[in-house]
Structure 1
Amino acid sequence: MNISVVGTGYVGLVTGVGLSEINHNVTCVDTNPQKVDLMSKGRSPIYEPGLEELMEKNIKLGRLRFTTEHKGAFNNSDVIYIAVGTPDNEDGTANLTYINQVIDVIANSITEDKIIVTKSTVPVGTNHLIMKKLNEKLPNHIKVEVVSNPEFLREGSAIEDIFHGDRIVIGADNQLASEIIREINKPYNIPIFETDIRSAEMIKYASNAFLATKISFINEIANICEKVEANVEEVALGMGMDSRVGNQFLRAGIGYGGSCFPKDTKALKKIAENVDYDFKLLSSVIEFNNRQQRKLLDQAINDFGTLKGKTVGILGVAFKPNTDDIREASSLVIIRDLIKMGAKVKVYDPVAIDNAKKELPIEVEYKNTALDAINNTDLVFILTEWDEFKSIPLECFTDSMLTPNVYDGRNCFDLENVKNSGINYCSIGRKYIKNQKVKL
């Protein structure tokens, strides 16, 4: 089938590439000519393992194209996917500016009936609003049907997820439109759940809010474990063996970040407020996550008294490994506060440095290797669990740092290996190992 995908951000690009891989003819549309030129050469503007290989393959096969020309792409397509961003406003509501722009472009471009598929995460009721606006703008002889098809892609694992996901959700009020989208997705051989539009919209928000709650719950448990001298990793393992609980998203750390969980939890909270419902549980999750992001920084301040004048190494800026996304990352909170305190900050990340330079204060010093970031520091924060960091020999900390004080926000090292290593090692939900006095 001929398909257009509007927007080539994380969701749009992966969606377009995935659809081309299952033999659809896909045209991805973006307003940025430099970006389109880059993607037309098989290069991805985002870091996602395995994505460029599939881009190159399907471009060569003629199944994947990139353009800035909306009108031609839309009229040569049977189905138009909307995959533009819906960032949060200051009050937590979803910003639908880009959605509204796409509605106008579609209305001014199409000359025959179309099915519009919304991949963007939008508040409940938005797809009906899209249909209403399009029907108001289009001539009477052109009909559109709108289908909600939310995405459930994990950054860093998107290629795995798009071909081996748990389910595909299709929300539609028109049975024929639902059947067409089901047929488009059938080659994925993933279970398909069909429902009404509003339920599909809600499934996306509810799923992300639940996972964010699960993360915050295990982090709360981790904080208690530290006080009662239990090990949160053993606790999580024992919990996860219960099939009713499950073992995913039970890894303790310094909070969730990224493009989805922070934005979607705030948006769902606002959706509830708009219908006069006080979602107290979700409000607590959001509040706790904001505190958890500062947890190790607060511990370091308690240990040193002040971090002014201290040299601090930062390992990891991305909110999770295998992505260059730094949106809502704990690293941003910690690094900005360190600079405000008067610390000297050295940063290393395998892929996210370019994005970090756009967001962080100019005082930050960027390094080319992890060892460069560690060298001659008073303390080090590990903020992303890259495999590269987990494989650093512990003696590198003792040999390279002025005093080996390591604050590990992702529990990268086994406590038994840290004992007697000479490192002062503070992690999450586990015993604080102190091998020597902290030098104030």
Structure 2
Amino acid sequence: MKVSIIGSGYVGSVSAACFAELGHEVICIDIDEEKVKQINAGIAPIWEEGLDELLGKYSQKTLIATSDYDYAVENSDASFICVGTPSGEDGSIDLSIVKAASASLGKAIAKKDHYHVVVVKSTVVPETTEKVVLPIVEEYSGKKAGKDFGVVMNPEFLREGKAVYDFMHPDKVVVGAIDERSSFVVSELYRKLECEITHTNPRTAEMIKYVNNSFLATKISFANEVGNICKQLGIDTYEVMDAVGTDFRIERQFLNCGAGFGGSCFPKDVKALIGKANQIGYAPELLQSVVDVNNRQPLKMIELLQEKIGELKNKRITVLGLAFKNDTDDIRESRSIPVIDKLLELGADVAAYDPMAEEGMKKIFHDVAYCKSSVEALQEADGCLIMTEWNEFRNLDQEFAAMANRVVIDGRKLINPEKLSTEIDYEGICW
């Protein structure tokens, strides 16, 4: 089939490359001419494992990029909206880019004689596809949804760093369509994947996405709440969760306690669901507590550090890990951000290292010494905070010898002090 993808960010570029891998012809649409040039040169506009290889394999063959909506829509059967939906201060999502993409699609569909399917893959709150996207496309196309064009909500469930793998090996594909014809078109795109398709309506598909991420975020905050209690009682919370996780109704994943969750999805999606609930007159107290626990959790790292070394003013504090998780350069909602912010507020001299995320964090914090290795960051440090679960941090040992005061606060349970040849004053955030 022929597909056009609007937006070449994390979701759009991965979807485009993977649809090409599934044998479809793909046209990427982006208003950023530099991204268009990159994709046409076979270069990924973002870092994602396996993405460069796929783009290099299909670029200028079955995958091209353009800024021309008319050309892309005329030469495709379905168009996927994969643009960003950033959060406002109140947690609600900003639909301005979705609206603009919908209007552009409508104008292009107006010039087309054949049935076309509009697919929303951007994460949007329930009712958005039917009450925002659909009427905008109708207005600008002059055509009728369900008759002249189809509308589908097809949420993504991709982990950053593993998005290509997740797209090609999904545990679920959700197709929320307004009619059978558009449902069939989108379902056919995934036919080669070994995964049962969930057929539903658009608002249910939208809700599935939010509930999926909100539940995983809830498990993490629950684990952190329990971890905080266990630490006060001298109980190994990981031993507790290992046993609890054997229950098939619960499962072990997402029960690791630590410094909290970040990224482009969990924080934004929980807040958006809270905002939608408030909008319809319901106060979601459990979801609000998930956010509150997550906001408090990373600051416990600083509390533990202060208990060890006292006042932090003019102390050199090393922060290891800037990305919100390992295997990505994404710093969005990284738990390192509130930690570094608080350290600077307290007058500490912050030295930081991350294998991939330095450039992104430089745009937020200028008064930080960014280092090229853990060894450099730990040099003469008075304390160290481990914030991201990078594998290279698991192997740290003699590097700690470079510290002036070997105090290590671990936010991800990466260090086992008993196995180190270098003696350190170690403390885990919840253990």
- TM-score under structure 1 normalisation? 0.94
Partner of 1:425: 426
Report the more deviating stretch, 31-40 or 377-386: 31-40
Partner of 1:33: 33
Distance (whole Å) between structure 2 residues aligned to residue 102 and residue 353 of structure 1 = 32
For 2:418, give the aligned amino acid. E
Partner of 1:43: 43
Q: Is the 8 A contact 1:46 1:324 kept in 2?
A: no
Distance (whole Å) between structure 2 residues aligned to residue 290 and residue 153 of structure 1 = 24
Distance (whole Å) between structure 1 residues aligned to residue 230 and residue 106 of structure 2 = 57
For 1:374, give the aligned amino acid. L
Distance (whole Å) between structure 2 residues aligned to residue 50 and residue 14 of structure 1 = 9
Partner of 2:13: 13
Matched, 1:381 2:385: yes
Per the TM alignment, residue 161 of structure 1 is displaced from its structure 2 partner at its CA by 0.7
Distance (whole Å) between structure 2 residues aligned to residue 146 and residue 65 of structure 1 = 24
Q: Please, which runs of 5 or more residues in structure 1 have no aligned partner?
A: 431-440
Q: Is the 8 A contact 2:39 2:59 kept in 1?
A: no
Distance (whole Å) between structure 2 residues aligned to residue 273 and residue 140 of structure 1 = 34
Partner of 2:367: 363
Q: Is the 8 A contact 2:321 2:353 kept in 1?
A: yes
Distance (whole Å) between structure 1 residues aligned to residue 143 and residue 233 of structure 2 = 69
Give CA-to-partner distance per residue, 1:319-361, whole Å, 9 cap, x none: 000111100111111112212221111111111111111122x
Partner of 2:398: 395
1:195 counterpart (188, 196, 200): 200
Q: Is the 8 A contact 2:417 2:423 kept in 1?
A: no
Runs of 4+ in 1 over 4 A off after TM superposition: none
Matched, 1:186 2:191: yes
Give the SS at the match of 1:278: coil
Q: Is the 8 A contact 1:135 1:143 kept in 2?
A: no
For 2:75, give the aligned amino acid. N
Q: Is the 8 A contact 2:314 2:347 kept in 1?
A: yes
Partner of 1:80: 79
Partner of 2:230: 225
For 2:361, give the aligned amino acid. A
Distance (whole Å) between structure 2 residues aligned to residue 7 and residue 140 of structure 1 = 24
For 2:407, give the aligned amino acid. N
Q: Please, which runs of 5 or more residues in structure 2 have no aligned partner?
A: none
Q: Is the 8 A contact 2:417 2:424 kept in 1?
A: no
Per the TM alignment, residue 415 of structure 1 is displaced from its structure 2 partner at its CA by 4.9
Give the SS at the match of 1:230: coil
Give the SS at the match of 1:346: strand
Distance (whole Å) between structure 1 residues aligned to residue 208 and residue 198 of structure 2 = 11
Give the SS at the match of 1:19: helix
For 1:423, give the aligned amino acid. I
Aligned length, in residue pairs = 425
Partner of 1:24: 24
Give CA-to-partner distance per residue, 1:206-225, whole Å, 9 cap, x none: 11110000000011111111
Q: Is the 8 A contact 1:134 1:144 kept in 2?
A: no
- Residues 223, 415 of structure 1: CA spacing in aligned structure 2 closer, same or farther, 3 A cutoff? farther
Distance (whole Å) between structure 2 residues aligned to residue 150 and residue 336 of structure 1 = 34
Per the TM alignment, residue 421 of structure 1 is displaced from its structure 2 partner at its CA by 4.5
Matched, 1:164 2:169: yes
Per the TM alignment, residue 389 of structure 1 is displaced from its structure 2 partner at its CA by 1.0
1:309 counterpart (299, 309, 314): 314
Per the TM alignment, residue 301 of structure 1 is displaced from its structure 2 partner at its CA by 2.2
Distance (whole Å) between structure 2 residues aligned to residue 140 and residue 165 of structure 1 = 34
For 1:190, give the aligned amino acid. C
The equivalences for 1:277-426 within 5 A come to: 277-360=282-365, 362-392=366-396, 394-397=397-400, 399-417=401-419, 421-426=422-427
Q: Is the 8 A contact 1:315 1:382 kept in 2?
A: yes
Partner of 1:59: 59
Per the TM alignment, residue 386 of structure 1 is displaced from its structure 2 partner at its CA by 0.6
Partner of 1:139: 142
Give CA-to-partner distance per residue, 1:345-394, whole Å, 9 cap, x none: 1111111111111122x1111111111111111111111111111122x2
For 1:254, give the aligned amino acid. A
Report the more deviating stretch, 200-209 or 67-76: 67-76
Partner of 2:120: 118
For 1:106, give the aligned amino acid. L
Report the more deviating stretch, 1-10 or 34-43: 34-43
Per the TM alignment, residue 202 of structure 1 is displaced from its structure 2 partner at its CA by 0.4
Partner of 1:254: 259
For 1:368, give the aligned amino acid. K
Give CA-to-partner distance per residue, 1:227-255, whole Å, 9 cap, x none: 11111111111111111111111111111
Per the TM alignment, residue 417 of structure 1 is displaced from its structure 2 partner at its CA by 2.0
Per the TM alignment, residue 281 of structure 1 is displaced from its structure 2 partner at its CA by 0.3
Give CA-to-partner distance per residue, 1:299-322, whole Å, 9 cap, x none: 212333311000011111000001
- TM-score under structure 2 normalisation? 0.96
Partner of 1:95: 94
For 1:108, give the aligned amino acid. K
- Residues 384, 160 of structure 1: CA spacing in aligned structure 2 closer, same or farther, 3 A cutoff? same
Distance (whole Å) between structure 2 residues aligned to residue 429 and residue 343 of structure 1 = 24
- Residues 140, 377 of structure 1: CA spacing in aligned structure 2 closer, same or farther, 3 A cutoff? closer
Distance (whole Å) between structure 1 residues aligned to residue 406 and residue 9 of structure 2 = 40
For 2:48, give the aligned amino acid. E
Q: Is the 8 A contact 1:406 1:424 kept in 2?
A: yes
Distance (whole Å) between structure 1 residues aligned to residue 243 and residue 398 of structure 2 = 32
Give CA-to-partner distance per residue, 1:32-88, whole Å, 9 cap, x none: 11122122222222221111111111116x111122222211211110000000011
Give CA-to-partner distance per residue, 1:400-427, whole Å, 9 cap, x none: 1001111111110225325x84211111
Distance (whole Å) between structure 2 residues aligned to residue 201 and residue 415 of structure 1 = 45
Distance (whole Å) between structure 2 residues aligned to residue 42 and residue 386 of structure 1 = 28
Q: Is the 8 A contact 1:230 1:429 kept in 2?
A: no
Per the TM alignment, residue 95 of structure 1 is displaced from its structure 2 partner at its CA by 0.5
Distance (whole Å) between structure 2 residues aligned to residue 226 and residue 165 of structure 1 = 37
Give the SS at the match of 1:295: helix
For 2:51, give the aligned amino acid. L
Give CA-to-partner distance per residue, 1:249-270, whole Å, 9 cap, x none: 1111111000001100000001
Q: Is the 8 A contact 1:47 1:322 kept in 2?
A: no
